[in-house]
Amino acid sequence: MIHFKDPVISFLNVFHEHNHEAFVVGGCVRDALIGKESIDIDVTTSASIDDIQHLFEANIISKDGIEYQSLTIEYHNQLFQVTSYRHDSEYEHHRFPKTRRVISFQDDVWRRDFTMNGLYWNEQKGLVDLVGGIEDIHHKLIRTIQDPSLRFQEDALRLLRAFRFSAQLGFDIERNTYNACLQHKELILSLSKERVTQEVMKALNGDYIQQKYTELRSYLLDVFKLEGYYAQFDLSLVTHPLVRWLLMFKPKKHSLFDAMNHFSFTNKQKELLIMMDEHAYLTLQDDKILIKTLLKRISMDAFGALCQLHYALGNLNQERFNAIINTVQDIHLNEEAYTLAHLKIKGDVCVKKKMSYTQIASFLQSCLDLVIAHPELNTPDYLSMKCDEWIIEHQ
């Protein structure tokens, strides 16, 4: 049904040659079944953590998960997350299990979250399905292994993972699983902002987010006690993840900060979100002077994000959106100035010409305004002449 090639086969064979059982497991097996390529490969094994370290001592690149019997190993340029068979129990804070070793993959499977992620494969046993994962993949269903209410109370991150997988794979969340998501939605608040942000941003980058965003949006707005501002938008027109986030979570009756405070964003990301929100009512036009004037205040990345926001909201049609993007590319290719750094005259030239320090900033700004309207005037000779005239006029 499925088959893995090297280096996966040779990696598993290292275990088998030393009398240990080993399987690829989880998402990589699921993806192989649906014809999707996986970057990271999860392996579970009967080998103890000490055995794993002995076998791959020179290949270990991270021991961050060693507390949970897990190591990250690079083998033949492929990353493997290798974990000893284990049983998770006595969860703390709806997230962190106290683990104990188990001796079989038949026991190991019950700690996994969803049936589609509970599939095991190696050359010796082929594809092993103890939880009905193959059937759920066939029907494109996300279903917890065993009781969903218990599984979500054990680990609240599974709540967000259900929605994330739905957006990435286009699968539906099975009815009982979805009802348990609703029942235990408050557990989301027990998660760190970092983990919430990671899962949500992965969902927003999902191939099926346009078809699946309604459930995720409604769910989190309810958790955070917010009401969404934007009623209609098309996420398929957007590639920038922060634009997608703003469309999803800009609140109607609260400030943008109230929504951002539930996530972990860098200061730069916050600045971009605030900028887009402040310019959401701006009418973008295919006009070089207007575009360069706007680029004086915001970065090229921010301008691109702002264009995507207006495109997704229907404020720009495809023709106007493409025209503006082409104009921006033309500005870039022609090296037309829109910031002080682009000017062909610098402050040190003004100093050498005996311009007072208090006048330099105003002079350079006037030069920028000039060359934005007349890019052909952005030459060292012309701006040097303008500097001489400015000094005379302001003596």
Q: What pLDDT score does 100 carry?
A: 60
Domain 1-133 identical in fold to domain 140-223: no
4-32: per-residue pLDDT in tens? Answer: 989 999 999 999 999 999 999 999 999 99
Nearest to 175, CA basis, from 200, 206, 144: 144
Please report, rounded to a whole number, the percentage of residues in the chain having pLDDT higher than 70.
96
Residue 5, Cα to own-chain centre: how many angstroms?
Answer: 29
* pLDDT range class, residue 357, cuts 50, 70, 90: confident
- Mean pLDDT of all residues in 184-209: 97
Per-residue HEC secondary structure of the chain comes to CCCCCCCHHHHHHHHHHCCCCEEEECHHHHHHHCCCCCCCEEEEECCCHHHHHHHCHHHEEECCCHHHCEEEEEECCEEEEEEECEEEEEEECCCEEEEEECCCHHHHHHHCCEHHHCEEEECCCEEEECCCHHHHHHCCEECECCCHHHHHHHCCHHHHHHHHHHHHHCCEECHHHHHHHHHCHHHHHHCCHHHHHHHHHHHHCCCCHHHHHHHHHHHHHHHCCCCECCCCCCHHHCCCHHHHHHHHHCECCCCHHHHHCCCCCCHHHHHHHHHHHHCCCCCCCCCHHHHHHHHCCCCHHHHHHHHHHHHHCCCCCHHHHHHHHHHHHHHHHCCCCCCHHHCCCCHHHHHHCCCCHHHHHHHHHHHHHHHHHCHHHCCHHHHHHHHHHHHHHCC
CATH homologous superfamily of 1-133 equals Beta Polymerase, domain 2 (3.30.460.10)
CB 113 within 8 A of CB 119: no
Residue 66: pLDDT over 90 = no
292-331: per-residue pLDDT in tens? Answer: 999 998 988 899 999 999 999 999 999 999 999 999 999 9
Return the CATH number of the domain spanning residue range 140-223: 1.10.110.30
Distance between CA 194 and CA 201 in Å, rounded?
11
Regarding predicted confidence, which is higher, 107 or 185?
Answer: 185
Domain boundaries, the chain: 1-133, 140-223, 228-334, 340-393
What does the block give as tokens for 140? 């494109």
What does the block give as tokens for 60? 């270990």
Please report, rounded to a whole number, the percentage of residues in the chain having pLDDT higher than 90.
84
* pLDDT range class, residue 95, cuts 50, 70, 90: very low
Mean pLDDT lowest among 57-71, 129-143, 374-388: 57-71
* pLDDT range class, residue 102, cuts 50, 70, 90: low
115-156: per-residue pLDDT in tens? Answer: 999 999 999 999 999 999 999 999 999 999 999 999 999 999
Q: What pLDDT score does 3 carry?
A: 85
- Mean pLDDT of all residues in 94-108: 68
225-271: per-residue pLDDT in tens? Answer: 999 999 999 999 999 999 999 999 999 999 999 999 999 999 999 99
